[in-house]
Amino acid sequence: MSQTTAQIRVPPVAALAAIEEHGSEFWSGQLLKVVVVVVVVVVVVVVVVVVLVVVEVVVIVVVLVLVVAVVVIVVVVVVAVVVIVVVVVVAVVVIVVVVVIVIIFLIVDVSSEL
């Protein structure tokens, strides 16, 4: 047996002990990495969900404000149209009454001259 072969051989018990020792270090490091990745993923998912909920609430509030604004504008326009129609109708009635009174006075005046 040569010198190099003797140096390469490791007793099985020592090899198993070395593998077990380094293996536990390896797995504890891997477990830590997995825990960190899971925590980061959970935090990112929670942040995304919170942002989406906040955006949804803001969108709902904006839509409600726009709906209320549209309803107020429609009510104001309807009230304005009603007021304009009432003013026009009253003006027409006043004009008709004045014209009728003038015609009556003219008829009375003409008939009194006859």
pLDDT tens digit sequence for 15-72: 566 666 666 665 666 777 888 899 999 999 999 999 999 999 999 999 999 999 999 9
List the end-to-end C-alpha distance of the chain, in Å, as a whole number.
Answer: 162
pLDDT tens digit sequence for 20-32: 666 666 566 677 7
pTM: 0.49
Sign, CA dihedral 93-98-99-104, equals positive
Dihedral, 60, 66, 67, 69 alpha carbons, nearest 10: 150
